[in-house]
Amino acid sequence: MSVHKEIKRITTNTLQEMKQNGEKIAMLTSYDFSMATIVDDGGIDVILVGDSASNVMAGHETTLPITLDQMIYHAASVVRAVKRALVVVDLPFGSYQGNSKEALNSAIRIMKESGAHAVKLEGGSEVKESIDRIITAGIPVMGHLGLTPQSIYKFGTYTVRAKEEAEAKRLKEDIMVLQQAGCFSVVLEKIPASLAKEVTASVKIPTIGIGAGKHCDGQVLVINDMIGLTKGFHPRFLRQYLNLFEEISGAVKAYVKDVKDADFPSEKEQY
Ligand code: KIV
């Protein structure tokens, strides 16, 4: 008899069943071992090693600079921590667009070198060839439509996408392309709730929203924003559960004071 308690892992099939049963999917980002341990232990269904690491971990203004090697480093750290959640890793900017062979190589590197379970990429029909090749190799793909931050210089702003009929129509066509190509799920970022409701009802694969309203099959947030580590970032879609910036800042100030006052370490804290 095994002494190890069996943990039922979340798979892409589990997410499909959750949509069919009307059970909402909870997804959060993580980028390192310590945070992923806490997030997985908290019962999250999907952990996204997002290229938002470029912003919140590396301090870049956009997601464009992060490299494939850096994404693999973050992903491998997360995978080492996770016992239950499905781990999805973003293909970074420049690793899959316009060259489906390179896309496949990038996805294979992520799977082999990090041990993750799936990849995510941004875009619709324009990246279909890359999606086809990756899925043919047996690698599950999550899509991402609406506000796609890797195209920020095309959009010019981070405002809500697909408010106009033409862009909404294109998004509806694109989600069908992703479903037909075999994507197991699609992130919908910053689009009107009514549009997210319509496309969620129109597809069999689960939609995961961020700033896309309550009718998506699941929700995702960037962990650093959700626990208040990111100072001064308060978009309307964000529910902030903690103010860790203030908490940690308070702890640092208290430590500095204790050291300066020669109060730390005490007799009990030395050998
Ligand atoms: O990189 C990321 O964190 C993401 C989420 C915002 C969906 O793509």
Q: What CATH number should be reported for the domain holding residue 27?
A: 3.20.20.60
Residues spanned by the domain of 270? 244-271
In terms of domains, do 255 and 190 share one? Answer: no
In terms of domains, do 214 and 97 share one? Answer: yes
pLDDT tens by residue, 187-211: 999 999 999 999 999 999 999 999 9
Based on the structure, what is the number of domains in the chain?
2
Ligand 1 centroid from CA 218, angstroms: 14
In terms of domains, do 191 and 264 share one? Answer: no
Q: Is 112 helix (H, G, I), strand (E, B) or coil?
A: helix
What letter does residue 162 receive in the DSSP assignment? -
- Report the range of poorest mean pLDDT among 10-14, 39-43, 231-235: 231-235
- In order of 229, 265, 266, 268, 269, the CA distances from 254 in angstroms are 18, 13, 15, 18, 16
State the pLDDT confidence band at 5, using cuts at 50, 70 and 90: low
* Residue 164 is a catalytic residue: no
d(CA 70, CA 37) in angstroms, rounded, equals 20
Nearest CA to ligand 1 atom 8: 50
Q: Which atom of ligand 1 is nearest to the CA of 221?
A: 6
Q: What is the mean pLDDT of residues 103-121?
A: 98
Q: What is the mean pLDDT of residues 21-48?
A: 98
Ligand 1 centroid from CA 90, angstroms: 8
Q: What is the mean pLDDT of residues 127-144?
A: 98
What DSSP string runs through 43-78?
Answer: T-SEEEE-TTHHHHTT--SSSTT--HHHHHHHHHHH
Ligand 1 centroid from CA 165, angstroms: 25
Nearest CA to ligand 1 atom 5: 50
In terms of domains, do 8 and 100 share one? Answer: yes
Q: Which atom of ligand 1 is nearest to the CA of 63?
A: 1
Tell me the pTM: 0.97
What pLDDT, on the 0 to 100 scale, is given for residue 7?
81
| Owner of token pair 């799936």 | 118
In terms of domains, do 175 and 230 share one? Answer: yes
In terms of domains, do 172 and 257 share one? Answer: no
Nearest CA to ligand 1 atom 2: 50
